[in-house]
């Protein structure tokens, strides 16, 4: 019996086409380079052959990438998993592998599936293959290859779990390094922007205090004026720059202005230009005057504060991951939205506060007016966010009150059954009759499907895992039920789940150890 599994990129006719184009493009790049060196010379101005070489280089790199993917392979045998790549061939023995998991990433709204080897030492190895996407063909191939890889692991190793762990951006096992990089970059941008606050204040102060130059002498630090004639204007809507052109290019050919200013000046208008530090900062006409806007220190400080607040988003995600680092890799983490609310509430007072910055901001009365009430409010918001992002274990749900009358509970079975055909149920009606699945919040038992409580038993209650977070709210819990040998999942808010289980007569039954569904 051949127990060797070899995974390669699926063959496609386009593979040979891209590799052939890459080889041809490489030859074109070499010919263009030789022509540039031997015929044109390195000091010759840009030539069309350079553009051809650049385009060919892009096709050569694309062909190189396709060739790499076509030659890489993953082989699993009795010894372990062997990665055959160009740069770093590697072998991972089965005894070093704790689990083989699925990693889901989203690139431009397309979900990409990868296989990950979770090592017993705490590290992980992302396999180049199998590789899956939303396309049905690649999806089915990925599932079959991942199943075969996990089957070899069960045969030759000791898996930590007997079910497939799916990791995505919402689960505890997702890598945190990207969040750390984004946080550091945003903090660096905030610090760099804050560095320019004093220069911006000094520059504005110098403009406001500048006086007219003495007669007959012009200097960069004083205001000088000269006459000019508007040749024509070019107003552009939106974010595009608008321009005012001057006759005979005196003193310059054109000046960037806002759109309304470009519309206010007409060809032939005689204007007076105010020059300071070598630039035109004011245009005065008969019916309109434009003065260039100088960024104040407060405005630059606001940009710095915005970057710091933006850095708080990945920092909050890092904090949540660090706080719940002991959770299983596929367990869904709490949402970062409470911290977004806290950051937004902080921005309400922090941005006006930094806008009032002066050379001595902490003694400013305006600073006190914003900071004194703002700091305790932010502290309260972050304390609330910390509490809102705690993990509520299934065992912590209290005993619900008895049900009186007909009550519709927001709960749903995640698996299609005869009492939940095609997953149509959105609520479960309890009280005044047998519990039943209904596709509406009531009243009435229209389209109700009775739940066969006598053949159900509880195997365990847990939080959502992996893709389940896309089906239900993060705060919901899931009860794993055994329906005569078939696993079904019932999801609801913790207290509502207790109500449904009690009405089904399942809460008092002895439950075996909490086992994950296969």
pLDDT for 184 beyond 90? yes
The DSSP line for 107-162 is ETTEEEEEEEEEETTS-EEEEEEEEE-SSHHHHHHHHHHHHHHHHHHHHHS--S-S
User: Helix or strand or coil: residue 82?
Assistant: strand
Most confident of 135-139, 157-161, 207-211, 335-339: 335-339
- CA distances to 76, 81, 162, 280 from 88, rounded to whole Å, are 17, 14, 30, 59
Surface-to-core class of residue 327, CB atoms within 10 Å of its CB (0-12 exposed, 13-18 middle, 19+ buried) = middle
Residue 299 has a pLDDT of 83
Q: Which of 177, 75, 85, 164 is nearest to 118 (CA)?
A: 164
Residues in a beta bridge with 124: 118
Looking at residue 361, the DSSP 8-state letter turns out to be G
For 282-295, what is the mean pLDDT?
83
pLDDT digits (tens, 9 = 90+) for 347-378: 998 888 888 766 555 556 777 777 788 889 99
pLDDT for 171 beyond 60? yes
Residue 394 has a pLDDT of 66
For 36-45, what is the mean pLDDT?
74
Q: In what order do the strands lie in the sheet with 456-463?
A: 449-450, 436-438, 427-430, 407-413, 486-492, 477-483, 456-463
Take residue 498 and report the two structure tokens written for it.
Answer: 């207790």
Residues in a beta bridge with 107: 110
- CA distances to 75, 102, 490 from 79, rounded to whole Å, are 10, 22, 41
* Total Cβ atoms within 10 A of residue 255: 21
pLDDT for 516 beyond 50? no
Q: Are the C-beta atoms of 377 and 349 separated by less than 8 Å? A: yes
Q: Which residue has the higher pLDDT, 382 or 14?
A: 382
pLDDT digits (tens, 9 = 90+) for 435-446: 889 888 878 888
Contacts of 29 (CB under 8 A, 6+ apart): 53, 56, 57, 60
Q: Which residue has the higher pLDDT, 43 or 371?
A: 371
Instruction: Name the band, by pLDDT with cuts 50, 70 and 90, for residue 316.
Output: very high
**What are the residue ranges spanned by the domains of the chain?**
1-71, 79-160, 396-503
For 473-481, what is the mean pLDDT?
87
Q: Which of 316, 327, 328, 332 is nearest to 470 (CA)?
A: 332
Q: Are the C-beta atoms of 309 and 281 separated by less than 8 Å? A: no
First to last CA, the chain: 26
Q: Which of 382, 389, 392 is nearest to 336 (CA)?
A: 389
pLDDT for 508 beyond 50? no
CA-CA-CA-CA torsion sign (295, 299, 305, 310): negative
Phi, psi of 394 (to 5 degrees): -60, -30
How many Å is the maximal CA-CA distance in the chain?
104
H/E stretch holding 429: strand 427-430
Q: Cα–Cα distance between 165 and 103 in angstroms, integer?
A: 9
Supply the CATH classification number for the domain 396-503.
Answer: 2.30.29
Q: Are the C-beta atoms of 265 and 288 separated by less than 8 Å? A: yes
Contacts of 299 (CB under 8 A, 6+ apart): 200, 355
* Total Cβ atoms within 10 A of residue 323: 15
Q: Are the C-beta atoms of 314 and 180 separated by less than 8 Å? A: yes
CA-CA-CA-CA dihedral for 318, 322, 324, 326, to nearest 10: 140
Q: Cα–Cα distance between 451 and 504 in angstroms, integer?
A: 8
- Within 251-329, residue ranges assigned H as helices are 259-264, 297-323
Q: Which of 80, 200, 73, 170 is nearest to 130 (CA)?
A: 73
Instruction: Name the band, by pLDDT with cuts 50, 70 and 90, for residue 127.
Output: confident
Q: Cα–Cα distance between 438 and 505 in angstroms, integer?
A: 19
Tell me which residue has tokens 């630039």. 279
- What percentage of the chain exceeds 90 in pLDDT? 11
Looking at residue 363, the DSSP 8-state letter turns out to be G
* Cα angle 328, 330, 335; round to 5: 100
Helix-strand-coil split of the chain, %, nearest 5: 40, 25, 35
Q: Cα–Cα distance between 87 and 85 in angstroms, integer?
A: 6
């Amino acid at each position: 019996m051949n127990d060797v599994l070899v995974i390669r990129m699926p063959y496609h006719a386009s593979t040979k086409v891209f590799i052939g184009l890459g080889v041809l493009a490489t030859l074109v790049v070499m010919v263009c380079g030789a022509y540039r060196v031997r015929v044109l010379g390195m000091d010759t101005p840009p030539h069309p052959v350079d553009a051809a070489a650049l385009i060919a280089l892009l096709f050569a790199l694309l062909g190189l990438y396709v060739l790499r993917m076509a030659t890489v392979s993953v082989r699993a045998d009795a010894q372990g998993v062997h990665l055959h790549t160009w740069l770093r061939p590697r072998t991972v023995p089965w005894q070093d592998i704790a689990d083989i998991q699925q990693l889901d990433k989203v690139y431009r709204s397309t979900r990409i599936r990868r296989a990950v080897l979770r090592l017993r030492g705490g590290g992980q190895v992302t396999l180049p293959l199998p590789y899956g996407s939303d396309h049905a063909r690649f999806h089915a191939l990925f599932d079959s290859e991942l199943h075969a890889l996990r089957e070899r692991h069960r045969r030759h190793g000791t898996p930590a779990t007997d079910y497939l762990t799916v990791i995505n951006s919402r689960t505890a096992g997702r890598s945190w390094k990207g969040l750390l990089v984004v946080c550091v970059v945003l903090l660096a941008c905030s610090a760099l922007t804050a560095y320019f606050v004093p220069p911006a204040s000094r520059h504005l102060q110098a403009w406001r205090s500048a006086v007219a130059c003495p007669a007959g002498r012009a200097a960069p630090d004083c205001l000088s004026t000269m006459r000019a004639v508007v040749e024509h204007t070019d107003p552009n809507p939106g974010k595009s720059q608008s321009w005012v052109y001057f006759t005979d290019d005196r003193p310059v050919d054109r000046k960037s202005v806002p759109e309304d200013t470009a519309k206010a000046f007409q060809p032939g208008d005689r204007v007076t230009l105010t020059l300071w530090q070598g630039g035109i900062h004011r245009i005065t006409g008969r019916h309109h005057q434009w003065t260039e806007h100088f960024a104040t220190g407060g405005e630059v400080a606001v940009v710095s504060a915005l970057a710091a607040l933006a850095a708080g988003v990945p920092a909050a995600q890092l904090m949540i991951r660090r706080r719940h680092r002991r959770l299983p890799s596929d367990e869904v983490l709490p949402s970062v939205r409470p911290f977004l609310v806290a950051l937004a509430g902080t921005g309400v007072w922090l941005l006006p506060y930094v806008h009032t910055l002066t050379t001595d901001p902490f003694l400013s009365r305006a600073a006190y007016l914003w900071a004194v009430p703002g700091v305790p409010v932010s502290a309260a918001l972050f304390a609330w966010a910390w509490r809102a992002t705690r993990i509520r274990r299934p065992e912590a749900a209290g005993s619900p009150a008895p049900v009186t009358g007909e009550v519709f509970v927001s709960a749903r079975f995640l698996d299609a059954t005869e009492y939940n055909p095609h997953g149509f149920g959105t609520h479960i009606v309890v009280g005044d009759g047998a519990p039943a699945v209904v596709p509406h919040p009531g009243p009435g038992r229209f389209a109700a499907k009775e739940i066969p409580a006598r053949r159900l038993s509880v195997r365990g209650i847990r939080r959502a895992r992996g893709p389940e977070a896309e089906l239900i709210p993060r705060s919901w819990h899931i009860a794993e039920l055994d329906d005569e040998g078939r696993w079904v999942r019932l999801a609801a808010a913790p207290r509502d789940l207790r109500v449904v289980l009690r009405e089904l007569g399942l809460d008092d039954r002895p439950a075996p150890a909490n086992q994950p569904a296969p």
